Structure 1
Amino acid sequence: MPNPRPADANDTSRENWALVVLLVLVSLALVSILLPFYAAIMWGLILSLLFTPFHRWLLPRVGHRPTLAALCTLGIVLLIVILPLTLVMLLLAQEAAWLYQGLQSGDINPALYFHRAFNRLPDWVGAILDRFGLVNFATLQRRLTAALAQGSQFAATQVFTIGQNTFEFVVSLSIALYLAFFLIRDGDSTVRAIGRMIPLAPVHRQKLWHKFATVVRATVKGNLLVALIQGALGGLAFWALGVSGALLWAVLMAAFSLLPAVGAALVWGPVALYFLVTGALWHGLALTAYGVLVIGLVDNLLRPILVGKDTRMPDYVVMITTVGGMAIFGINGFILGPLIAAMFLSAWQIFGETR
């Protein structure tokens, strides 16, 4: 068979480059369209990864009807994930509204709490505050009042935008559940179709997908479980010590606990310090011991087991990428940070094996 003529080879090369340019352009266009809903798409994918094993278990029990099994799986998602989250958010909104009204009416006076703590400070602490111009309580109160005024203004602004935020939340939730349904029902065929388009050896494609799914499952289940346990333990301690707004503090501790090592301590630490400074010595000591030995132990024991063990990444890599991911992507960064790190390590490992 004669070799292709140079003109034919040039035409083929130009067609290949044109196809590459076209793929890049349409891919960028699609990313720009989907970017506003990247969080909803990500959580739809996460829900499908977490509940696909349940769908596979359920499938033979409903007569191998994929649509019915996917609908039942989605019902379980609504029952054990969406409904409890909605109830907690409603209770949190109620408690935040109570706190806001207390601040406006004067029933809750943070300046009074600071005044009590300020009067009980040792002289050497007062000398340090004097260097920063805070030794005069009137100055401190003015600064605190200004900060509270800004916070109240921000809260009032959020009241006017809550309708828009609710609509955006409902739209994002609908997209996530809609996408999760199809990924749960048709996930295997979708993964195979996408895999055929990736120009890698089958064993490498399988390795990357396995790493992707493992990291997502471990990060979500591990971090969220640790956050829920630490938030519940912290809220229980605050309730037992008579701290107002225990549910609000519990949610804050759960959110901060997504930051490894020091997360929940950013909430219970200042409260324990306030108890110690204001003379509630036993309350402060009890909260400190409870925070270190119980709340901190949960983070130190469970997080390496649930996250680091499955992802097969060192604890310091998980911690740094989690903090960096949250700095860039917000709350979703606790998943995206370790996931990007895992894909980075896997890609370089594959490159080394092929070379």
Structure 2
Amino acid sequence: MLLTPVTQRVLSKELLDVPIRAGLVAVLAVFCFRIFVPFLNLMVWALILAVTLYPLQVRLRGPLAGKDGLIATLIILVAFAVILVPTYLLGVAVANSLERAMTVFRSGSFQIPPPAESVAAWSLVGHRVYDFWAQASSDLTGLAQKFAPQLKEAGLALLGTVTGLGAALLVFCLALIVAGIFMAHGEKGYRSAVLISSRISGPENGVQITDLCTATIRAVAQGVVGIAFIQMLLIGIAFIVMGVPGAGLLALAVLLIGIMQLPATLITVPVIIFVIVTEGVSTATIIFSVYVFVAGLADNVLKPLLLGRGVAVPMPVVLIGALGGMVTGGVTGLFIGPVMLAVGYQLFWRWVKDQPQPQRAQEQKQA
């Protein structure tokens, strides 16, 4: 079929317009992303917090009907109190402890007791531990000078960690404020999410995908925070009963470590060693050690039970998504990972089940 010159010019113009438009859209998308990327972490956290806290806002609509802005403000103020008050108390306690330690160290009254002879009999590391401990008890200043470069690096790493925690706390507080704004317009936000999901995955999947993402975020948030809180109670009670110094601060550290998805054994094992060294081996210390060690591993049992609740996908999908997201994307990936994996799982199986029927089955139906 021969095309007229006019038709050829029209087709040529249309073929030229398509890549130009696509290029302009790509440039616009790149510029928008570069402008928005400094706030990406903040907005992701705000969205996660808003989705997690929104059921509380729905429950409070009974006594405060028609006042979504007031409800969201009250929730955010309570969240600020829950977060900032323990953080302030922890900071004051740590600062006082450091000040007392520096005072004792400068006065020269700080002494490390010499090791017992039985330490040298420990297998593999006994002699090294005994020599190091003995030098620390007799010449602590010389030992500190010997390891001065390592201590300097550790101090810089600790300072960087503290700075990073401060910046993360600031971002979290700002995310709480933005989350309050999201919750005050929760209904509009949900409708917008449904429209976006429908545009991406089709009108028949929009509501289902939106509800799946919402349920997954809430399940992970409640599971992570809930498991960390349960571990804090189990371990903190044992610390208080045993009279461990700073039991409250150590319990709070267990809560923070659990939220960061680090093992609670980072706290429990050193405390067990401290109790055995100071109190000796007895029935009480053995029971305490076994109980605290098992409680530190409780998250391995609780995660499979809590992470998949209320989600329309198998629990292993959520668990694998949370662990994989944590490895690849940090704490934010802990939420994004299971959401993406759950959505992909649902779409994949919907595509698998949506198969054309065999020709014979169609002919039988027609007959």
Q: TM-score range by the shorter chain?
A: 0.7 to 0.9
Deviations 1:155-185 (A, max 9, x none): 6678899997876665444344334434x25
TM-score normalized with structure 2 length: 0.74
Distance 1:95 1:145, change over 3 A: farther
CA contact (8 A) 2:325 2:333 kept: yes
Is residue 104 of structure 2 the alignment partner of residue 106 of structure 1?
yes
Matched letter for residue 177 of structure 2 = S
Identity of aligned residues (%): 21
The residue type equivalent to 1:128 in the other structure is: V
Partner of 2:46: 44
Distance 2:110 2:69 in 1: 51
Name the aligned partner's letter for residue 273 of structure 2.
Answer: L
Alignment CA distance shift 1:319-1:268 (3 Å): farther
Residue of 177, 186, 189 corresponding to 2:188: 186
- Match for residue 131 of structure 2 among 112, 130, 136: 136
Instruction: Give the superposition deviation at 1:243.
Output: 2.2
Q: 1:97 to 1:195 in 2, by over 3 A?
A: same
What is the TM-score of this pair, normalised by structure 1? 0.76
Conserved? CA contact 2:209–2:343, under 8 Å: yes
What do the CA deviations read for 1:13-44 (whole angstroms, capped 9, x no partner)? Answer: 55444444444433333333333333321222
Structure of greater Rg: 2
SS in 2 for 1:136: helix
**Residue matched to 1:224:** 225
Change in CA separation of 1:235 and 1:121 when aligned onto 2, cut-off 3 Å: same
Provide the C-alpha distance between the structure 2 equivalents of 1:328 and 1:42, rounded to a whole number of angstroms.
16
Residue 330 (structure 2) aligns with: 330
Question: Which residue number in structure 1 is paired with residue 27 of structure 2?
Answer: 25
CA contact (8 A) 1:44 1:175 kept: yes
- How far residue 139 of structure 1 moved from its aligned partner, in angstroms, is 6.6
Uncovered stretches (5+) of structure 1, i.e. residues with no partner:
none
Summarize the Cα distance change of 1:224–1:323 in structure 2 as closer, same or farther, 3 Å threshold. Answer: same
Residue 274 in 1 paired to residue 271 in 2?
no
Higher mean displacement: 327-336 or 54-63:
54-63
User: Once the two structures are superposed, what CA deviation does each residue of 1:280-300 show, in whole Å capped at 9, x if it has no partner?
Assistant: 224542332322454544x25
How far is the alpha carbon of 1:95 from its aligned partner? 1.6
Is the CA contact 1:92–1:247 (under 8 Å) kept in the aligned structure 2?
no
Q: What residue identity is the alignment partner of 2:349?
A: Q
Q: What is the alpha-carbon root mean square deviation over aligned residues?
A: 4.1
1:74 Cα offset (Å): 3.2
- 2:238–2:288 CA contact under 8 A, matched in 1: yes
Larger displacement relative to structure 2 (9-18 or 266-275): 9-18
Asked if structure 1 preserves the Cα contact closer than 8 Å seen for 2:318 and 2:342, the reply is no
Q: Which aligned pairs between 1:1-355 and structure 2 lie closer than 5 A?
A: 5=7, 8=10, 11-12=13-14, 14-59=16-61, 65=66, 68-79=67-78, 81-106=79-104, 112=112, 116=115, 120-121=118-119, 123-125=121-123, 127-128=124-125, 135-137=130-132, 142=143, 146=148, 150-152=153-155, 171-182=174-185, 184-198=186-200, 200-258=201-259, 263-278=263-278, 280-282=280-282, 284-297=285-298, 299-311=299-311, 312-315=313-316, 318=318, 321-353=321-353
Asked whether the 8 Å contact 2:235–2:251 carries over to 1, the reply is yes
| 1:353 to partner: Cα distance | 4.2
More relative contact order in 1 or in 2 (CA 8 Å, sep 6+)?
1
Query: AA paired with 1:245?
Result: G
Cα distance in 1, alignment partners of residues 12 and 346 from structure 2: 36
Which range moved further: 319-328 or 83-92? Answer: 319-328
